[in-house]
Amino acid sequence: MRTNGPLALAFHTIFVVVMLAPIVVVCLVAFTPEGFLSLPTHGFSLRWFREIANYPEFVHAFWISLGLGMLSSFVALLFAVPVALAIARYQFRGREALMALFLSPLMIPHVVLGIAFLRFFTSIGMGGSFAALLVAHVIVVFPFALRLTLAATTGMDRSIEMAAVSLGAGGWTLFRRVTLPLILPGVISGWALAFIQSFDDLTMTVFLAAPGTETLPVRMFLYIQDNIDPLVTSVSASVIAITMTALILLDRFYGLDRVLAGKSDPGR
Amino acid sequence: MSFLELEHVAKQFGSQTVVDDFSLAVRKGEFISFLGPSGCGKTTTLQMIAGFLEPSRGAIRLEGHDLTAVHPARRGLGVVFQSYALFPHMTVAENVAFGLEMRRVPRSQRAERVAAALAMVGLAGYEARYPRRMSGGQQQRVALARALVIQPSVLLLDEPLSNLDAKLREEMQIELRQIQRTLGTTTILVTHDQNEAMSLSDRIVVMSQGRIEQIGTPQETYERPASAFVSQFLGKTNDFAATVDRTANPARLVAGSWQAPAPVAVAGPVTISLRPERISFADVGLAARIVSRIFQGNHWLFQCETECGPALVVRQNDGKPQPAEGEAVRLAWRLEDMSVRSSGGAA
Amino acid sequence: MSTVGTTAPQAVVASSEPSAAGTPWLLSAPALMLFVGVLVIPLAMTVMLSFHDWGQYKGIEPVFILKNWREIASDPYYAEMFWRTFRIALLATAITAVLGAPEAYILNRMSGRWKGFFMLLILGPLLISVVARTLGWALLFGGNNGLVNKLLISLGLINAPLPFMFTETGIVVALAHVMMPFMVLSVWVALQRVDPQIENAAMSLGAGAFTIIRRIILPQIMPGVLSGAIIVFSLSASAFATPAIIGGRRLKVAATLAYDEFLNTLNWPLGAAVAVLLLVALALIVVGSNALIERRYAEVFR
Ligand SMILES: Nc1ncnc2c1ncn2[C@@H]1O[C@H](COP(=O)(O)OP(=O)(O)OP(=O)(O)O)[C@@H](O)[C@H]1O
Ligand SMILES: [Mg+2]
């Protein structure tokens, strides 16, 4: 394969710079000593990071987002794993339709989902509750959980299961001791991807969240609707820092490519 | 003057030398094979000729002109890849016509030449097919037609048959040889299959770890391997440790209870190399015992334990009775069938 | 839509399980109930809602009338707003395709370590909240003497500062940035299916660099570009955060308008009608273009 020419590399450089520019700018402005948003900034101060402490809503929203993300992706997997087994293992009428239904949250604009959930949960008296948020997030992240578990299930060597059956394993034991460990890498990747979707969702959640159940993106969005000061940039910078730390730790202890590709460890 | 010349060509990737001091002179119309184990630098050498890689050192000349200065698109060489590298979004006819199109051959002529090329590889009538809808052997033929239709000065083939099953591979070998003979195109074939190299080529270049081990006709490389590597790589070989007895006059070459007059050039501990089919059972010679005996239709395969270690013997099935398993036998061979090297290096 | 086709292996181990016909439904039952209860019913309720009546003082009245739909059809404000929504989405899609496809190609030609590093840089922003990314653009645009304008003027590309904040241009630029990873990823996947020797093959037949890209590479990655375009287009047309932050309170697109009707004006039925229309329009566009692409490329790519 040939190498890139100077023109290609110049294009690539500009491309990467533009891709990173807005993020870098947010992080830079977070260190401004000024009381307003301005570019370029003069001087350096941690003032706006200290300011976060005066707004417990942001910290609270962060914990809500974290809890919601973890819980909703976990619940989504509880529902998705049996579906993945059914779809990967059986030919039955309605299989394609079932797949289409379960992947449909990908195709429906999140505004529409937000409106539908808002209408539904207010009409049954659950509007603004964490439970409503949880259920909504489970639906939205379900396709991601399903896709990766399904990939792991279809890619699995069935003869291993047959070997276990021939040795006398069956039913729940077969699933717990053989099937689940084999599809676990895919399940973990599904969980990670689902978590990211849940953690970053704004469009749907902004319809459902009420004071007290606001997620971080919602809190940030509502804040910049009303205020023009660098607080959001310091919050953003903190979240970026946390995300990067998490990624580095994940890469260190598990391997980033394994999460992304749903790969099992190389020994297998 | 030879047609295609490689002079002290070398290729380095970083600090790793992948091809070193590769010199070869190819005559016009010749069929040359690069033969060697995986990773020995065959593809690298071929790609340097094609121009996809630049040599780190050395010169490549075609009819006396420096080829390295020519852009690969202007070298006018035909290349067939191991993966075929057909254009999946073009029909068979479009694939084959592509090179002509690049050469601005008029449309009417193009169709004619495409049809002729396809007919030559036995694919007349497949013009409108897409490559994905063809079998491996058919795709292989399209790739060959695509490379040949531009009337290349040299045809470069990188393991073109390795993805085919054994039977198809044999058919394609015969066909390839026929087409090459008819067109007289100078051809270089990369392969790690010794039978393929033997049956197709005028000369074989045996390579190992980026270096040329031997250049010669198939018979030469098989009968008189220049090194232990070549003899091992080209078919099965028996190696017996032997000594030269200088006290006798004339000096004798001794391996166990087998002995013969020593060749003049050798001294000290030596190794005798022998092809399995050149060993016969005799009344005197190397003492051995038959460990196992396998019938393979037109020949028998004997695994023997001799005084000088294990040995493999192949005998034609001429209908006569053969020694049984466990039987004690004596092995003998003609002096011209063995090659003798001083132990530890090439003769 | 369903990427896992009918090729999935047949059930082999069924001895310890109940009758094979019922098992898959039994396994899917919990998820199916969840989806019917909390997705299908709410969506149906939303469609119903769009036919209800609403008044400033009486609130929502559960009757079946076409008032909202008639208003959307007759008031040019809505036509203009939808047209703007799709125009923005189309432009953002075009930008991601024109810039993202070459970038994916360049990335693919890099050596292993660099490839991984830059992939991480380009896909990494997906992990960062859209709010933060859009905020970054708002800071870069920042009024008439924003960084972007200063750069463009010093490069001599423009004479007077361009308005980016509260304009469609600004929304398009920021949206293209937000959606870019999807396009790069989609083209990248298509490039993985291209035989790495194919460029050499074309070159040996006499093709130059430009011809190789136009005649050999582009046709093969086109399905990837198009499926990336469908993803980017549908996400852009229903985007909320970016148009809300860059577009401000007046420059509305479908998503921000629906949000306004729901949470500010409180005219839920009208908001529902806008949302349902967006859903239907998008579904038609996506299904239609999917069918077109499949027909166009069925012959070549399985
Ligand atoms: N681009 C490259 N960068 C670094 N090393 C390379 C590169 N291409 C090939 N090599 C190394 O050069 C050596 C020779 O490779 P080459 O492809 O020529 O082998 P080959 O004889 O064709 O083997 P095979 O029969 O497996 O195709 C190998 O060890 C390979 O790892
Ligand atoms: Mg090779």
pLDDT value at C14 more than 90: no
Find tokens 């020995």 and name the residue: B40
Tell me the CA distances in angstroms from B87 to A39, B100, B131, one per residue in order: 51, 15, 8
For B34-82, write each residue's pLDDT tens digit. 999 999 999 999 999 999 999 999 999 999 999 999 999 999 999 999 8
pLDDT value at C162 more than 50: yes
User: What mean pLDDT comes out for the span B312-327?
Assistant: 89
Q: How many domains would you assign to chain B?
A: 2
State the closest ligand 1 atom to the C-alpha of B192, by its place in the atom list counted from 1: 25
- What is the maximum alpha-carbon separation in chain C? 78
Ligand 1 atom 17 nearest Cα: B43
Check residue C269 and give its pLDDT. Answer: 95
Check residue C17 and give its pLDDT. Answer: 43
Residues B24 and B118 both lie in one domain: yes
Answer whether B323 contacts ligand 1 (Cβ < 6 A).
no
Find tokens 């099935």 and name the residue: B317
CA of B43 relative to ligand 2 center, distance in Å: 4
User: What mean pLDDT comes out for the span B78-99?
Assistant: 93
Beta bridge partners of C138: none
CB contact under 8 A, C200 and B146: no
Residues B60 and B187 both lie in one domain: yes
CB contact under 8 A, C275 and A165: no
Q: Which of C197, C202, C300 is facing B88, going by the closest CB pair?
A: C300
Check residue C299 and give its pLDDT. Answer: 63
CA of B18 relative to ligand 1 center, distance in Å: 7
For A45-103, write each residue's pLDDT tens digit. 888 899 898 889 999 999 999 999 999 999 999 999 999 999 988 888 889 999 999 99
Check residue A9 and give its pLDDT. Answer: 95
Check residue C256 and give its pLDDT. Answer: 96
Answer whether B192 contacts ligand 1 (Cβ < 6 A).
yes
CATH number, position B41: 3.40.50.300
DSSP codes, A196-215: HHHHH--TTHHHH--TTS--
pLDDT value at B343 more than 80: no
Top pLDDT among C20 and B27 is at B27
Answer whether B275 contacts ligand 1 (Cβ < 6 A).
no
Top pLDDT among C4 and C296 is at C296
pLDDT value at C1 more than 80: no
User: What mean pLDDT comes out for the span B315-331?
Assistant: 89
φ, ψ of residue A32 to 5 degrees: the values are -70, 145
**Token pair for B310:** 């294990």
User: What mean pLDDT comes out for the span B121-147?
Assistant: 92
DSSP codes, C94-134: HHHHHHHHHHHHHHHTS-HHHHHHHHHHHHGGGGS-HHHHH
pTM of the predicted structure, to 2 decimals: 0.86
Check residue C257 and give its pLDDT. Answer: 95
Check residue B165 and give its pLDDT. Answer: 83
User: What mean pLDDT comes out for the span B240-264?
Assistant: 84
Distance (Å, whole) CA B329 – CA A148: 65
Check residue A261 and give its pLDDT. Answer: 59
B70: left (phi over 0), alpha (psi -120 to 50) or beta: beta
- Which regions of chain A are under pLDDT 50? 1, 263-268
Residue B347 lies in a domain: no
Distance (Å, whole) CA B286 – CA B277: 16
What is the second-level CATH architecture of the domain A56-264? Orthogonal Bundle (1.10)
Please, which residues 215-234 of chain A have a Cβ atom closer than 8 Å to chain C? 216-217, 220-221, 224-225, 232-233
**Looking at this predicted complex, what is its ipTM?**
0.89
Find tokens 């489970």 and name the residue: A138
C300 touches chain B (CB under 8 A): yes
Q: Which residues of B touch C302 (CB under 8 A)?
A: 132
CB contact under 8 A, C200 and B102: no
Tell me the CA distances in angstroms from B319 to B155, B279, B322, one per residue in order: 45, 18, 9
Find tokens 């059809």 and name the residue: C73
All residues with CB under 5 Å from ion ligand 2 = B 43
**Token pair for B25:** 């002179």
For B4-43, write each residue's pLDDT tens digit. 999 999 999 989 999 999 999 999 999 999 999 999 999 9
Answer whether B41 contacts ligand 1 (Cβ < 6 A).
yes
State the closest ligand 1 atom to the C-alpha of B42, by its place in the atom list counted from 1: 21
Please, which residues 148-207 of chain A have a Cβ atom closer than 8 Å to chain C? 150-151, 154, 158, 161-162, 165, 170-171, 174, 196, 200, 202-203, 206-207
State the closest ligand 1 atom to the C-alpha of B190, by its place in the atom list counted from 1: 22
Nearest alpha carbon to residue A56 among A47, A64, A45, A67: A64
Residues B104 and B151 both lie in one domain: yes
**Token pair for B296:** 């393979």
Residues B198 and B311 both lie in one domain: no
Question: What fold, for C75-301?
Answer: MetI-like fold (1.10.3720)
Ligand 1 atom 13 nearest Cα: B39
User: What mean pLDDT comes out for the span B272-286?
Assistant: 89
For B146-205, write each residue's pLDDT tens digit. 999 999 999 999 998 888 888 888 888 998 999 999 999 999 999 988 889 999 999 999
**Residue B212 is part of which domain span?**
4-232
Q: Which of A3, A123, A161 is facing C109, going by the closest CB pair?
A: A3
Check residue C6 and give its pLDDT. Answer: 32
Shortest Cα–Cα distance, C197 to chain A (Å): 7
Nearest alpha carbon to residue C127 among A5, A237, A200: A200
A50, A51, A54, A58 alpha-carbon torsion, rounded to 10°: -100
CA of B11 relative to ligand 1 center, distance in Å: 10
Residues B221 and B244 both lie in one domain: no
Domain boundaries, chain C: 75-301
Residues B219 and B280 both lie in one domain: no
For C238-280, write each residue's pLDDT tens digit. 999 999 999 988 899 999 999 999 988 889 999 999 999 999 9
Residues B193 and B258 both lie in one domain: no
Residue B244's pLDDT band, with cuts at 50, 70 and 90, is confident
For C186-245, write each residue's pLDDT tens digit. 999 999 999 999 999 999 999 999 999 999 999 999 999 999 999 999 999 999 999 999
Answer whether B39 contacts ligand 1 (Cβ < 6 A).
yes
Contact in structure between C149 and C131 (CB atoms under 8 Å): no
CA of B42 relative to ligand 2 center, distance in Å: 6
Contact in structure between C263 and C255 (CB atoms under 8 Å): no
The whole-angstrom distance between residue B200's C-alpha and the CA centroid of its chain comes to 8
Distance (Å, whole) CA B278 – CA B261: 19
Is beta strand B78-80 parallel, antiparallel or unpaired with respect to B154-158? parallel
Distance (Å, whole) CA C55 – CA C47: 19
Which residue, of B199, B232, B265, is where some domain finishes? B232
Name the amino acid, one letter, at A257: D
Contact in structure between C120 and A36 (CB atoms under 8 Å): no
User: What mean pLDDT comes out for the span B122-127?
Assistant: 93
Check residue C5 and give its pLDDT. Answer: 33
pLDDT value at C144 more than 90: no
Contacts (Cβ under 8 Å, ≥6 apart) of C250:
C166
Angle among Cα C218, C222, C227 to the nearest 5 degrees reads 155
